[in-house]
Structure 1
Amino acid sequence: MHKIVKWAGFLCVSFLLFSGRPCYAVEQAAEFYLHNLQVEHMTEPLGLDEKVPHFSWQMQAAAKERGLRQTAYEIIVKDNRGQVVWNTGKVEDGISLNIAYAGAPLQPETRYTWTVKVWNQAGRVQEKSSVFETGLNLERQGEGDWSGAQWIGGDDDLPLAAHSLAVYKISYDMRLMPGAERAGFVFGANDSRLMDRNKNMYQLENKKDQSYIKLVVDVAGLKKSPAEPAKLKIYRSGYSPTDSPGQPLTSLDIPPEAINAGNLYTRHNVEVSSNHGILQFNIDGKKIELPQVNFWTAGYNVNPVGPGGDYISFPMVADIGFALDKGQRAEFSSVRILNYRSPGNTVFFEKITPDRPYTGIFSTKKTEGFSVSRDTYLLDGGKDGLLLTADPSHGSMPMLRSVFKVPAKQMAAARLYVTSRGVYEFYINGRRVGQDYLAPGFTQYNVTQLYQTYDVKEFIKKGQLNAIGAQLAEGWWSGAISFQGENWNYFGDRQSLLAKLVLTYKDGTQSVITTNPETWKYFGQGPVVLGSIFQGEIYDAGKEKAVEGWSRADYDDALWKKAKAVPADENTAFIGTWKHCMTGTVKEQNYANVSLIGQEGAGVNEVLTLTAKEVKEAAPQTFIYDMGQNMAGVPDIRIKNGKAGTKLTLRYAEMLYPENEAAGANAGQLMLENIRGALAQDTYILKGGDERIRPRFTYHGYRYLEITGLDKALPLRDVRGKVLSSVRDIRAGYETSSETVNRLWQNIVWSTRANFLSIPTDCPQRNERMGWSGDLSMFARTAGYITDTDRFLDRHLQALRDLQDPDGRFGDIAPIGNGFGGILWGSAGMTVPWELYEQYGDTGILQKHYEAMKKYMAYLDTNVAADGLIGERTLLELGDWLGPEYSKNEPVFLWTVYHIYGLDIMARTAAVLGQQKDADFYRGKYIQRKSWFNKKFIDPATHKTIKSDGSVMDTQTSYAVPLALGIFDQDNAPDAAKHLVAACTRENTDDNGVKRGPYALMTGFIGTAWISKALSDYGHSDIAYKMLENKAYPSWLYPVQQGATTIWERLDSYTKERGFGGNNSMNSFNHYSFGAVGAWLCNYSLGIQRDAAAAGFKHFVLQPQPDFAGALQRAEGYYDSPYGRIASGWRLEDHQWFYDAVVPANTTATLYLPVSSLPVARRILENGQPIDGNENIVFKGYREGKALYELQSGSYYFVIPDTGKEI
C-alpha cells in the first residue's frame, strides 16, 4: 500500500495514508492535550492593537481515540500584576475558535497571560497557558502614545544614485554668448547597460561619452528671421543601432514668449522631465505642448525600446554634462536634478562658492573650453567642439544612531516600538533586532501605517552606555512603486524613523528612549548607497570601514551630523489632491489623520534557501546561474579572496531568450523585457577578501541570476537564493499519481509564496508588484487553503477601505489606488471578506468591513442603468481577462453576475452579523436582480447564454461563473450545465481564429476560478479531470510541459516552438491567477470542503471525487484547518477504491462517497469492518449516487467495492 511519510503529523505523530489499517497516534500520555493557542490568529503576539481580541486553540488526541470533542471551556486572562481581568467561567460550548474577549478594558503596553481549560466528552480536563501583549494604540485611531517620539531622518542633502533614477526632472539656466547659435545639455550619458553588449537588446558596446541624450537650444533660424521660432532639438546617441549623433530625433518649436529676437542672449531656464523616457519641456516656464505618447502620458519619447514604464527604461539620469559645437560659446548655471513628483525636492545641485577653487563633479575633468566663474559654468566649443560629462551621484541611504545610559537595576522587560517611512533595519549594541525584511511593510501610509514591537531585553546592557540605530531605505514610501512613473516617490521622497524603547525595571520604574533630533545623529555616506524595491540595491563595501561598529556605544560618531525632524509635510511628502486616471475621482492626500497600528500577521521573512543548480558563462566575466525555481527573494553569494574595488553587477530574470531566430544575438541571455521599467539590478563593490553579498532593501522575482565582474564562475554552493515571503507556512498539500499535476500544484504554491509578500501582489518581478483586486478576488479561495490568510488579507482589506471612494467604489489596486478593472476587480471588497469568514469563522473581519461593503453595494446600484444593465462606464473596465475567448464573453454579463453575487454575500453577511433588516433588504434585491439576469442573458428557446443585444455567447466562462455562484435559476441551471459540458468537450475557436481542441481551457482570470467547480457541482467531475489533465494549449498543464515552475500570467507565456510569442513585455512568469484551480484540487479532487452552516471548519464536508474515467490513479493531501489537520486521499485499484481521511479533534464531518448504488454502499468496509454498529460513523443514506456518513473526529480507512459502476 502507498504510504505518505513526508506529511508526518496528520493526526499526532504520523498519518500513513492507504496503509490498510487505522492511522493512530502513538503517544499514550494523556487522552488529549491542547496546542496552537492563538490570539487574533497569532501566537503570542506583541504590540496587539485590538480592544476585543479573539482567542483560539486546538485539541489533539494523544492516542487512537475517535470522537474526541470539547464540551466546555473556561478562559482566564490576567494582567502583568496577576490580576484577573476576565474569567468566562465554565462555558458549555464546543467552539474553540474566535472567542471574543469580554473582560475589563485592556490597557496599552501591557502583557497578559491567558489560560484555557477544556473539558472533553468524557469529563476529562486539560489546560494550557499563553500570553499576548497590547500595543500603543488600542483605539486604532491616530498614532497612539509614542511618548513624544518624533519622525527623524537626514538633512536636505538627499542622496542620488543617478544611474538608477528613471523618473526625474532636470532644470538649468543657460545663456548663449553673443554670436552663438546653439548649446546643448547632456544627460543619460554612459549608462553601463549601453557599454556592454550583453546588457542591452541591441548588442551595443559604446565607449565613454558615446551614449547620451542631448537637448540643444538652437536660435540659428531666429537670428535670420524674427518670424522663425527658436528650436529645441533632441539628439540621441548610442541608444539604438539607428542613432546618429549629428541628426536630431526631432526639433520642437520653443514658444516665442520664452525665447525671441529680443532676448536671444539673455539667460533662459530650461526644464526637462523624463518619465521612463517620455520627455516634457518648459522654457522659462512656458510649456512646449506635445501629443499623447501612451495612454497615461503626453510628451516626446526618446526610449528606443518603447514609451513609458511598460518597457525597459531609458534614459536614467546617468552622467550629465554639456555639449557645444565648434565655435559656440555659452554659460550654464543653476543645474539641478529634482524628484519628478511633488514635493519635487532637489537631489543634485552644485553650490559654487565664488573665490574658492571649484571642487564639483567636473573638477577632475581637464577639458579645454570649460571653466567656472562665480556661480556659472563657462563653455567654449573652440575648434573641435566640446563634450563634458560627469556622474552626479552622491550620498547613501540614511543611517541613524543614539546612545543612552541604562541604570544598574534588574530589568523586567524591554520593548521596542518602531516604524519608518521607507523601510528599516534596527540595531541595538551591534546586533540586529528581528529578522523581518522590508519592515514596516506596505500599507496606505497616509491613512494606515504599521509598526513593529520587539522584545529586546536580551539586547540591553544594564549599568552601561547602550547604543541603538537604524538603517533606512526607500521601500514603498519613496522610489518606484508602480507601472506609472508619475507614482515615483508616491508618498514622499525622504525616509524617516519613529521609535520608542521602553525599559521596565523590577522596581516598577521605567526608562523611555525615543527618536528626536536632539539626541540622535545621522550619517549619509554609509555602504547602502541605494535600497530600492524596483531598482535594486547598490552596496559599496569599501564604505563599511567608516561605519564599523556604528550601532555600538564605543563607536566614534564625530563625523555624523545632528538628525533632523522629518514631519510628513509639503517639504517631504506628497500633500495635495490627485485624480483617478479612470474614474476622474479627486482625492485629498495628507497625513493629518494617520493611524499607526501594531503589526497584524506576518511580515516579510526568509522562508527557504535555494542553491544554484547550473551555471554557464554568457560572456567574458559574465556568468548566469540557474536557481532551478522561479522565486521572489534576494541572492546570498559568498566571495572568497575578492579584490578591493571590484564592481559586481547582479541582474535577474525569469527566463532566458531561447535559441531561435526571433531571439537572434540575444539567445541564451537574460530576457528582461518583461521586467519592464524596473531596473532590478544590484551593484556590489568589494572591499577585498572574503565577503558575503546579501541585499536587504530590495527583492527580485527571478530564476536566473547573472553576475558580471568575476574572473571565473563561483561554485554553485556559493550562490544561493533567499526566498522571501509573508507565507511562513504552507497549510495544504496535494499529490497524485501524475508528476505533471503534482508540478502544477507546486507551481501554485510557489506563486503564492512569491506574491504574498507584504501585500498580495500580481507579480514579483516587473515594475508593478501591486495589489490588483481582480487577481486576488479570483485566487482568495485557493490561497485560504495554501496558507493562513486571515491576518494577511485582513490587512489588505484595510487598504481597500483606506482607498474607498466617497461614492463607495473600491479601488482596482490597493494600496495607492488608481489602475483599472471595474466591477470584477472592485468586487474583491465583497468576495475577500466573505472568503475569510467562511474559511476562519472570523466575524470580526465582517464587522470591520461591513459599512464599506454596504457603501460599495450602494455604489453599484447607482451604476445600474434604466435598462437594467450595469457598468461603471469608466475607461478600461475588464472582463474575463487574458482568456482565449475574451471578446466572446460580454463584460456586462460578468459584471451583472458579480453584482448579484455581491448582493448574495451582502445578505449573508448581514444575517451573520444579526442585521436582519439589512439581510432581508439585500436578499430581496438579490432575488430581483437574479430574476432579471435569467430573463436578460438566457435564450428562452435554447437556454444558451446570450449577450445584452441578444446574440449568442455560449462560452465556457458564461456558463461556469453563474453556475458556480448560483446565479442561474432552477429552470436554467441544468441546461446551463449541459451547455458547459458541450463547451468543454467540443472544439472552440479562440479570439485569434485558431481552433482549440476538446477540453481546452478557454477561460481567463474570472472563468478559470470557477469552471472546475461548476462542472463538479453538476456531476461532471470527469470533464473537470479531463480539462485538468489536458496538456495542449490552452490548459493548466501546458505551461508545466514548457518547463514552468510557477503559474504564468498567460497560459502561453512561453512555448518551446514560438518562444514568447511576441508578448515579451506584458508577460509575467509568476502570476497566481490561473492557479485558482488549486481550490478545486482541495475541495473536489481531495473533497475537503467548507460547510456553509459552520464557518471555520467546526463541521465540514468530505466529498472526494476520484478520477474514475481518467489518468489519475490516486490523489492525497491535507489542509491545516483552524481546528487542526484534515487529511483526505483516494486510490483506485482494479474494481475497488480506497479512501483515507482524518477528521481533527473537536470537529465532525459529513462524508459523501460516490458509489453506483445502495447495495454497493452497504458493502463498504471501514478498517476492514462493516460500518453498521460503528458509533463514530453514522450512515445517513444513499443520495444522488453517493453514500452519506457522519463522522466523528479520528482517522478512517474505507474500502469501496466500486469504481463508478456496480460490480
Structure 2
Amino acid sequence: MLRSHKKVFSVLLAIIILFSAVPPMQVHAEPAGGTKIIQLKTDDLIEPVGLISEKPTFSWKMESDLTGQRQTAYQIIVAKDEQLSDLVWDSGRQDGSTSVGISYAGKALQGSTVYYWKVNVWDKDGQSVSSQTTKFETGLMGEHAWDASKWIQVGDPDEDAVDSYTLELDMQVVTSAVSIVFEAKDTGNLLMWQLINDKGNLMLRPHYKKGGAYSAIKTVDITNFAKGALTDAQHVKLVVNKDSITTYLNNNPTPADVTLASQLGGMGFSGEIGKIGFRSDSSNKEDGFLDNIKLVDSTGKNVKDYNFDDGINPFTAGSVVNGKFSTKYDSTTINELIGIESTALGGAPVHYTVEADLTCTKDAVTIAFNAVNRNDYYMWQFNTTTGNTVRLVPHTWENGNYTLYPKHNTNITNLVGGVEAFKTNEAHITIEVTNIEIKTYVNSTLVDTLPMVQIASIVPQIGYIGVRAADEESGTVDNLKLTNYTDSAEGDVLYNYTFDDGNPFFGGSVKDGKFISAGGFGVLLPNQALGLPTFRKEVTPKKAITSAKLYVTGLGVFDVFINGERVGTRQTDGTLVYDELKPGYTMPGERVFSYAYDVTQMITANQANAISANVSSGWWSGRVAGSHGKNNAFRA
C-alpha cells in the first residue's frame, strides 16, 4: 500500500512538473456572470458605410448577469485588417466607465477604406473581456472628393456649358431710385440691384425676392465710383457666376461691390440664365431710365441686347420714351410695379388650339392649358361673380404664383346668353396659341387677343390641358381637346377628352358623359403629368464584382433604384432599410447631406445595370420651407 501511494505521488509530481514547463498564455479571463461587450457602434451606427468624419466616435454596451457589474477601464484597437495587425490606433488602457462618444485619435483615416476595430473592457474586479471585431467603412473624404462627379439637371447643356455671364447697362436715377431685375424666374422670385440717390450720395442696394418677399442684402456707398452728376446715366457692369456677383461702375477696374452667392437666398445663377427686367415703387416716387442692356454669356454668345431705339418694350410693364426705357410709375393703389421679359417670344415655333364645351353653375369654370406641372400653366377662367355678367379672366401661373391681365378681362355675357343661360347651355370655347399671341373665341366669335410679349410666364408649348376649381366654383366641362397645328395645317389631335369613357384626372367626377368641375380641388392635369424628373444611366462592369458602393446626393428629395430595386441599407437578415426624404432639410445653398450604400449584391457583372433616380422639389425648389433654388438636381 505504501508503494502504491508512492507511485501515485510520483505521477502527480510529474504532471505538476510538466505543466510548470509550459510557457504562460496571455488570455483574458472572462468575468463571472457571462459578461459580454455588445452593440459596437461607430458614429452611432452598426458597421456603417460611407463615414466622412475625420474623427468618428465609438460606443458599446456591457451585458452581464452579475449584479453590480460595471466597466472600470477600456482599450480601443483600430486597424486596416481583420486580424488587427496593421494598427492605425491603439488607445491603450483608459481608466473610467465611459463607453459612449469616444472620439478616434489615431492616424489620419483614408477615404473609401474599411477599418476593423474591437474594444477590451475591464470590469469591477479588474478582469477583462474582449468584444468581437467589427468594422466601419469611410466614404468620399476631402475637399475634392466629389470632383469626379457633377450635378445633373433637366435641361442642362452637355456642351458649351454656361458657367457665368456679364450684364451691362446704363442706369439713370431721375428721382429716388432706379432698379434692374435679373435672374428672375417670375415676378415673385428674382434678384434686384438698385441705385439710390440718398441725399447727395449714390448708394447700391442689392436685394433678392423669394416667394414674393424681399430681402435687402446690404447698402454700399458707391459715390466715389459715380461719373458726373448723380442724376446722369451710370454705366453698370455685373459679372455673374455661381459663386458671386461683382458690380463695376463706369469702367472702373476696381469692383464697387462683391456679393457672394451664399447671400442670395438660393436665387443666384445656377447655370441657367434667368429673365431680366425692372422694378419701381410709386410710394418712393422712384423714376429713372435703363438703356443699352446687353447680356453676354461665358461662351461669348450675345444672349440679350436691348437699346430701345426701335421703341419696342421687351418687358411686361413700363414704357419706352425717346429711345430709353422709363421706369416711372405713378399709382395710388398698387405701389410696386415689376416688368420682366416675356420668354414666350424666344421659344420654339408653336401653334395649337384648345377647345371645350363649358357651363358655369356657380362663380366660375376654368380651363388650364400650356401646363408643365401643377405650378406652371396658363389658366382661362369664365367668371360670373362680377354683377350679372360673364367675363373671361385670363391668368398665368408660374412656380405657384399667378399673374392677372386686367386689360384682357372681357365681357362675354351676350355671347353665352347671360348668367342664367350659361348655367345650363354649353358655350363652345376655342383658345388659339402661337408664339405671338393667344386668341380666345366664344361660340366662334373672337373676344380677346393677348400678346405674348405681355406674358411673364412659361414659354408657349404643347403642354398638358386640364381643369381647375377653387372654393365653391362649379360647372361642367365636355369635349376638352388639344389640336397641334405646328407642323401640320390639318392639325394633329393630341388630347381629346369626351368623358364618355371615364375620368382622365385623379380628382373630380364624371356624370352623364361630362366632367363636373366642382369641389375646390385646385388644378387637375392628366395622370401622366404628375410624374417626377428621372435621371437614368446604364453601367456594364466587365469583371466580377468584389465590392460596389454608391455615393449620392440631391437638390430636392430623391430616391435611387438599381435595376428597378430601390436602394437602401442592407441588414444582416438581407432586408433593406430605406432613408426617407433624402437629403433632409439643410441650407442647400451652403451644404447638402450625401449618402453611401453598399450595392454589391445589386450589381451584376457583364450585363447592363440601370441606375435611376427620381428627384422631387422637396426643400430645394418647392414651396415647403421656402424655395432655395430653381432646377432640381442629382449627383452620384
Same fold by TM-score greater than 0.5: no
Name whichever structure is richer in helix by fraction. 1
- Larger-Rg structure: 2
TM-score (norm 2): 0.42
TM-score, length of structure 1 as denominator length: 0.24
